[in-house]
Amino acid sequence: MECTETDCEAEAAVELHMPWGETRPVCAAHARVLSREDGVVAQPLSSADETLPDGATD
């Protein structure tokens, strides 16, 4: 699954749950920036085991 951010072709690694919008899969780089907003919950995708640090998807 690809990142849902515009012009990004990276593999999605995290699902962002945003209280003001839809839940969407994004790559690790976009998740790092977007998850800093209040109320956003970042949930690692189990399919991203090789992309994320050890233990991140446990």
pLDDT 10s per residue in the chain (58 long)?
899 999 999 999 999 999 998 899 999 999 999 999 999 999 888 776 666 655 555 5
Residue 30: what pLDDT? 94
Q: Is the pTM of this model over 0.85?
A: no
- Residue 41 Rama label (left phi>0; alpha psi -120 to 50; beta): beta
Residue 47: what pLDDT? 76
Residue 54: what pLDDT? 59
